[in-house]
Chains A and B, each alone.
Chain A
């Protein structure tokens, strides 16, 4: 299996009457995109397309998902063949609240430092659904619209010559047997009821744990469908650009032997948690790994899944490092996790999500601003009349992403 990514850099996005990529400028025919999204799904009532660029005084609220525009150029299935990817640009879906857990993206100011998406040119698709649509149908409609828009954008630029081409090499690399063998456990939220992830089209609550070729992940085989707190939601963009996999591939064959990915879920019932943990540990053992990196999605309940995995892996002789965020209270004085285990002696912290953040007013706000007070991480007084806001970091999308995208960390003082 070989996968090649053709990458085209986007430096600017504008709305226009045709959709094309020319000299780094992506022009989006918003009329055509709007019509498509409305026609293909009767649940969708209204679509508005906006552009948000880095450095602008723009705030996007109630962000549901972020997706990198990509399309398949050749190849029979996900993870192989050639895929065209538009770089430095992302599709953002937003609109009236579905769960409580959509997030904020500020394109400039102090909030911009905490989200990776403030550095991208964003095509924001604001979607309202027909009255009476259930929350689950609402989520499904928005998810499908975002994926469709991202693919349509990339496909519309199919004629563009890519700036660079990257072949993803993995199991064909000959690796020195002396190098340490490292596996990756990718934990995804799968609690049902708007906390779902889709792996190759199947709900993660049914199909996992399993081995997954890293190229399938890179090629968009995992899609976010959940409304967990914005700060540590693994968006579809994060799955497409998983930094742990990128790092493991970069050192594969020279610094370590990247033995494979185990995708696992985070179920709600204790018996299911124990069963998933046991199976995931067995799958890591099949890879004959000396060590494993674990990344988590969500917090609280999933902390128990993480601790079970660490305890079991360490008992099986597999050394672990886990990536987690913290909920240490706004003053940082509380315990940070809902579960612990003594074997978790190597933990990377990606930040205290309870930290408060004062955000200045913005010239442009995209999305339903009044809903902010109801978001996880928002307060009743979150939005002042002058447009300034006070939220917890957990309301900012990607702020404490547990794949380890950003540099944010937390320490004892």
Chain B
């Protein structure tokens, strides 16, 4: 008895489908039963794979309104899947090499198919294709040459990686020839961390090639804002990552890896007390912050300075989150959102306390 082949949908542009060149770039998405053009190469790369349908669309049609274009592709797919005997197990798009419009369409179709239909999808692009930056996190992209000379390698790569996705196997960029998605992913290595450390050090000492398991990132450097000329009329705000919140933690900010920040009124409040406020930060011993929350959010000192006329006034709302194990990326978002709100109400400077 013959084993059933893996049913696959193939997406390509008007050119590779043989519809026409630039003059057909406005072509709406259309369906073809079976394989077309490079789709035949997909089938010959793996005899277990069968292209059950091909969708082709014009480069300009997709590029001019990508969202609507993707919707049209998915609508077409829906119509034909309703009639199909087999639900496809995979969508392959391209390869699109370094073609900008085509690359965007391939990546966007892949993302939509996996998100909306739950079908794994793979494309192949040159690393400098503009779609790579936009989609690398969400879409599995096989590394391709810049032009059609690299067709066979790109097809082989797409098929190999695509079949791994069908089987639910993890994709490892270095081994599978895919572009890095820019994500960190846990896995169990063959030996312990201590054994790996010794092996790496021996290589480093003998001048052999070694591969670090975490390449150091380059941090953003934020230039400081210019100094305030007249502090006596300036509105200041206070913001903390030290986890000082109203007693009872009304927003349930997490003690580590915070998913949110809180905005709390200090209007008319002269200082914080153990009864009114508390620390929810999980990275330090909160005993002393709980006994006197001004130690982390120095409202008492700021009020004294405000009364002495050292600055104009203190903003009525303070913002607080927990910095403990909160990822840099999320912290950047909190910072941007808080800054936007403060700028909006005319705050000129912020006292930021960390722990």
Contact flag A333-B214 (CB < 8 Å), given A243-B194, A291-B201, A328-B327: no
Q: Is the CB of B196 within 8 A of A355?
A: no
**Residues of chain B in range 168-227 having any CB-CB distance to chain A below 8 Å:** 170-173, 180-198, 200-202, 204-206, 210, 212-219
Q: Is the CB of B213 within 8 A of A229?
A: no
Closest CB-CB distance, B264 to chain A, in whole Å? 18
B352 touches A (CB below 8 Å): no
Q: Is the CB of B193 within 8 A of A376?
A: no
CA distance A380 to B210 in the complex (A): 43
CA distance A243 to B255 in the complex (A): 31
Total interface residues in chain B, CB < 8 Å: 59
B3 touches A (CB below 8 Å): no
Q: Which of A293, A341, A355, A379 contacts B186 (CB 8 A)?
A: A355
- Contacting residues, chain B, for A256 (C-beta < 8 A): 202
A377 touches B (CB below 8 Å): yes
Q: Is the CB of B330 within 8 A of A334?
A: yes
**Residues of chain A in range 246-269 having any CB-CB distance to chain B below 8 Å:** 246-248, 251, 255-256
Closest CB-CB distance, A329 to chain B, in whole Å? 3
Q: Is the CB of A376 within 8 A of B325?
A: yes
Q: Determine the residue in chain A with the shortest Cβ distance to B219.
A: A340
User: Max chain A CB contacts within 10 Å: which of B186, B192, B213?
Assistant: B186
B4 touches A (CB below 8 Å): no
Mask for A321-342, Cβ within 8 A of B = 1, else 0?
Answer: 1111011111111111100111
**Residues of chain B in range 32-70 having any CB-CB distance to chain A below 8 Å:** none
Q: Is the CB of B324 within 8 A of A300?
A: yes
Q: Is the CB of B187 within 8 A of A409?
A: yes
Q: Is the CB of A344 within 8 A of B255?
A: no
- Contacting residues, chain A, for B206 (C-beta < 8 A): 180
Q: Is the CB of B255 within 8 A of A375?
A: yes
Closest CB-CB distance, A411 to chain B, in whole Å? 6
Q: Determine the residue in chain A with the shortest Cβ distance to B220.
A: A335
Stretch at the interface among B8-16, B149-157, B279-287: B279-287
CA distance A287 to B73 in the complex (A): 67
- Contacting residues, chain B, for A331 (C-beta < 8 A): 183
Q: Which of B172, B210, B327 contacts A411 (CB 8 A)?
A: B172
Mask for A360-394, Cβ within 8 A of B = 1, else 0?
Answer: 00000000000000111111100000000000111
Contact flag A290-B205 (CB < 8 Å), given A355-B186, A409-B188: yes
CA distance A147 to B338 in the complex (A): 47
B348 touches A (CB below 8 Å): no
- Contacting residues, chain A, for B191 (C-beta < 8 A): 407
Q: Which of B182, B192, B205, B325 contacts A353 (CB 8 A)?
A: B325
Mask for B298-335, Cβ within 8 A of A = 1, else 0?
Answer: 00000000000000000000000001110111100000
Closest CB-CB distance, B281 to chain A, in whole Å? 8
Q: How large is the interface on A (under 10, 10 to 19, 20 to 34, 35 or more residues)?
A: 35 or more
Contact flag A247-B282 (CB < 8 Å), given A335-B217, A347-B212, A409-B187: no
A55 touches B (CB below 8 Å): no
Mask for A299-325, Cβ within 8 A of B = 1, else 0?
Answer: 110000000000000000001111110
Interface of A is mostly: loop
Q: Which of B189, B198, B257, B328 contacts A407 (CB 8 A)?
A: B189
**Residues of chain A in range 386-413 having any CB-CB distance to chain B below 8 Å:** 392-394, 401-413
- Contacting residues, chain A, for B252 (C-beta < 8 A): 380
- Contacting residues, chain B, for A243 (C-beta < 8 A): 192-195
- Contacting residues, chain A, for B194 (C-beta < 8 A): 243-244, 246-247, 293, 323, 403-405
CA distance A168 to B246 in the complex (A): 55
CA distance A354 to B259 in the complex (A): 12
Q: Is the CB of B256 within 8 A of A321?
A: no
CA distance A307 to B193 in the complex (A): 19
Closest CB-CB distance, A184 to chain B, in whole Å? 10
Q: Is the CB of A340 within 8 A of B257?
A: no
Q: Is the CB of B219 within 8 A of A319?
A: no
Q: Is the CB of B204 within 8 A of A291?
A: yes
Contact flag A407-B324 (CB < 8 Å), given A321-B201, A413-B171: no
Closest CB-CB distance, A238 to chain B, in whole Å? 11
Question: Please, could you name 18 A-B residue pairs with CB atoms under 8 Å apart, sorted by A?
Answer: A99-B282, A180-B206, A194-B285, A246-B194, A321-B201, A333-B137, A348-B196, A348-B200, A352-B184, A376-B257, A377-B325, A394-B256, A404-B196, A407-B189, A407-B193, A411-B187, A413-B171, A413-B181
Closest 3 pairs between A and B when the two form their complex, measured CB to CB:
A404-B193, A329-B327, A193-B285
Instruction: List chain A positions with a Cβ less than 8 A from chain B.
Output: 99-101, 113, 134-136, 180, 182, 191-195, 227, 229, 243-244, 246-248, 251, 255-256, 290-293, 299-300, 319-324, 326-337, 340-342, 344-355, 374-380, 392-394, 401-413
